[in-house]
Structure 1
Amino acid sequence: MTFLIRLFVILIFLYSYPNIISAKEIKYNHNSKTISEIKKEVDFTLLTPTNIPEDWTLDTKTSPWIMLHYMDSKDTKLMVGIHQRLGFHLFKDDFPYAQQVDINGNKGYFQGWEESGEVDKNGDTITGGLLNWVQNGTYVEMNSSRLPKERMLEIARSMK
């Protein structure tokens, strides 16, 4: 039953997922709330990556999850989406096709996209996938169709 509930949540997320996405100065776009503003509104630890290119911009959303969408320098392509909410325990059975990975000492699960290696309608090669883990009581779901698994893991491991 738990698996079905989590699968349902993931399917809702994928259905409603918008097609839009720092250690140094963050360049916000689309009148986004700042990280510090969001931290004041949530009852869990908001994690942010420190290993993000300086020229990427950030678009934040606060409903239904906290969503950090890092966009390319032209603000046209979603590079990586990082969605967060209050954590819950993850079970390997919830990710039967995923590879278990380590994210800062936490069990994570990476599942590549089924279309990986194919070319999308814009001429870009699909890569990456979906990465899930819980860190400091926060459930994190990262996705990218532009970054390879290794780069996604580097970003995930830089989250504090």
Structure 2
Amino acid sequence: MVFLIRLLIVLILLNCYPMIIMAKEIKYNHNSKTISEIKKEVDFTVLTPKRIPDDWTIDTKTSPWIMLHYMDSKDTKLMVAIHLRRGFPLSDDDFPHSQHVDIKGNKGFFKEWIDSGEVDKKGAIITGGLLNWVQNGTYVEMRSSRLTKERMLEIARSMN
């Protein structure tokens, strides 16, 4: 019961505090390559979100595709994972059980996690899901079990 009260307080605070703000500087962790370095290595557009919290850090990986893992300020929780690779046409058949969403004029597909709303092993409520779209010739796959669908869409729509 105490956990639920604490969780409710945290959710209220998160809802009242504007968590998504313009990032001034990306804080890389784990000796990650920078976005600038990655852009020089690939032959497709590397899209990055512009509206993420200032205190998140980023861990980049470049194999087998470009992976941008945005972590919380303590670098302990994966907040959102964004995977990028050369784009290819998407169709409804690729995502038969997904909801259609618009991302800056591009057709996107959102699929909520099957265990959404349940509590994970660490006591956090599972939310979010899997979001896919193609933008400027780049296939984007965004995953989060910590952010709501609305937050994921806000981040997705800020990607350039």
Assess same fold via TM > 0.5. Answer: yes
1:131 counterpart residue number: 131
Q: Which amino acid aligns with 2:33?
A: K
- Give the conservation status (yes or no) of the 8 Å contact 1:127–1:147: yes
1:87 counterpart residue number: 87
- Give the conservation status (yes or no) of the 8 Å contact 2:23–2:53: no
- State the 1:23 CA deviation: 4.1
Q: Where in structure 2 are the equivalents of 1:58-73 lying within 5 Å?
A: 58-73=58-73
1:62-96 C-alpha deviation (Å, 9 max, x unpaired):
00010000000000000000000000000011111
Runs of 4+ in 1 over 6 A off after TM superposition: none
Q: Where in structure 2 are the equivalents of 1:114-129 lying within 5 Å?
A: 114-129=114-129
2:54 counterpart residue number: 54
Distance 1:31 1:45 in 2: 23
Q: How many residues align?
A: 139
- Give the conservation status (yes or no) of the 8 Å contact 1:71–1:79: yes
Q: Which amino acid aligns with 1:155?
A: I
Distance 2:132 2:35 in 1: 21
Q: Secondary structure at the match of 2:74?
A: coil
Q: Where does structure 2 lack aligned partners over 5 or more consecutive residues?
A: 1-21
Q: Where does structure 1 lack aligned partners over 5 or more consecutive residues?
A: 1-21
Given the alignment of the two structures, is residue 77 of structure 1 paired with residue 70 of structure 2, yes or no? no
Give TM-score scaled by structure 2 length.
0.86
1:147 counterpart residue number: 147
Q: Which amino acid aligns with 1:27?
A: K
- Give the conservation status (yes or no) of the 8 Å contact 1:28–1:34: yes
CA RMSD of aligned residues (A): 0.7
1:38 counterpart residue number: 38
- Give the conservation status (yes or no) of the 8 Å contact 1:23–1:49: no
1:31-53 C-alpha deviation (Å, 9 max, x unpaired):
00000000000000000000000
Distance 1:29 1:81 in 2: 14
- Give the conservation status (yes or no) of the 8 Å contact 1:69–1:78: yes
Q: Secondary structure at the match of 1:81?
A: strand
- State the 1:24 CA deviation: 1.9
Distance 1:44 1:23 in 2: 24
- State the 1:58 CA deviation: 0.2
Give % identity: 81
- State the 1:149 CA deviation: 0.1
Q: Secondary structure at the match of 2:151?
A: helix
